Amino acid sequence: MKKIIKDASLLPYNTFGMDIKATVLAEYDTVNDLREILADPTIAALMQAERDKGNLPFWHIGSGSNLLFKGDYPGVVLHCLAKGIRMASTNDDSSANREGACRLEVKAGTLWDDVCAYCAEHGLYGPENLSLIPGETGAAAVQNIGAYGVEISDLIDEVKCWDVEEGKEHLFRGEEMGYGYRESRLKHAADKSRYIVTSVVLKVQKARKLHLEYAGIKRALGIENVSETDLLASDRPTLQEVRDAVIRIREGKLPDPKVIGNAGSFFKNPVVDNSVFEALLAQYPDMPHYVVDQEHTKIPAGWMIEQCGWKGKNLGRAGVYEKQSLVLVNRGGASPDEIVRLCRTIVDDVEAKFGIRIEPEVNLIG
């Protein structure tokens, strides 16, 4: 099944609630549908026109939960409709097999939280800390979504793609994906214009293995004072309890895009050299921070934005969420320009106060 819509409204396809248009929106189910779309003469011409301007030939969206179109999109927006989760076989040389995990193949258009719910129901450990992150699985694998001490890259065995240049399927093993903090090879132009994710193979564990390092999770479960040994010896918390705790934390801190337009964390948390970090810590002894490696420390951008006085404030109809300053929100009817203006003002203010230039995590398109 495929749907090609000209002059399509992208309002239902972006959680910021921007009423913008794409010259063509093309949705597909199977790889064959995708091939037909890419071969369509009108679509091929639009893609070539974008290439000629030095742009990506198309923009592939998931559920539009991590992007901001800066205006009408003059090219082709692609969207995968294929959904489904199935137990996949385990190859002898797959990393899942080496770790004693089972493999789940998830079609790119499957809502990521449906995967988390499926795993919790079937006693499969791994994705529970990533519960309720909005968006689809293909996009999640591109963005390397992460929360509460887990990143999807920890769970990825393979990413299956359609190679637009060669016109054939291509498989990346997890270790070939160039994963880092909110980073993968498919975020960069050369690969982004060439590979379209069709499905993601996850390695999940049947054996009980939880990630409870994030203090907020232990607090939400009322187990702050329980030792690691006692936790290992007990069968509590259960997988479902951890998923429920993560959902409670997210619902408490993050705005529901159905109620207030937003795209989750708008900025990445900057990773800085320890010399920079130590100088700042001397000035701000209460500054939260996370060790990245021996030379680098991550500083929460949300904390810096709050220190700049932006928490709960607005610039026009764009605002900073009152419970989490990393999230920019559409207060109602904001234009893309208003969000971008707020973004730039915050970046400049944070740089003026802390000497660190924070970067958007959200994809700014156009």
Q: Is 268 in the site for ligand EPU (CB under 6 A)?
A: yes
- Count residues contacting ligand EPU (CB under 6 A)? 18
Q: Is 162 in the site for ligand EPU (CB under 6 A)?
A: no
Residues 134-153 that bind ligand EPU (CB under 6 A): 147-148
| 117 three-class SS | helix
Quick one: CA dihedral 107, 109, 110, 112, positive or negative?
positive
- Cβ neighbours of 315 (radius 10 Å): 19
Query: Which residues, including other chains, have CB under 8 Å from residue 296's CB and lie 6 or more apart?
Result: 271, 272, 273, 274
Active-site residue, selected from the candidate residues 182, 194, 317, 341: 182
Confirm whether 182 is a catalytic residue: yes
Confirm whether 322 is a catalytic residue: no
From 3, 83, 122, 311, residue interacting with ligand EPU (rule: CB under 6 A): 311
Select 76 or 358, whichever has its Cβ closest to ligand EPU.
358
Confirm whether 265 is a catalytic residue: yes
- Residues 212, 220: Cα–Cα separation, whole Å: 11
Asked whether the beta carbons of 133 and 5 are under 8 A apart, the reply is no
Q: Is 289 in the site for ligand EPU (CB under 6 A)?
A: no
Task: Output Rg (C-alpha) for the chain, integer angstroms.
Answer: 21
Q: Is 296 in the site for ligand EPU (CB under 6 A)?
A: no
**What are 114-120's contacts with CB under 8 Å, separation 24+?**
114/83, 114/85, 115/85, 115/202, 116/243, 117/243, 118/85, 119/204, 119/239, 120/239, 120/240, 120/243
Tell me the closest approach of the beta carbon of residue 309 to ligand EPU, in angstroms: 11
Q: Is 269 in the site for ligand EPU (CB under 6 A)?
A: yes
Q: Is 300 in the site for ligand EPU (CB under 6 A)?
A: yes
Select 22 or 68, whichever has its Cβ closest to ligand EPU.
68
172 DSSP β-pair partners: 159
Residues labelled as active-site residues: 182, 265, 361
Which residues are at the interface with ligand EPU (CB under 6 A)? 147-148, 253-254, 264-265, 268-269, 288, 300, 302-303, 306, 311, 324-326, 361
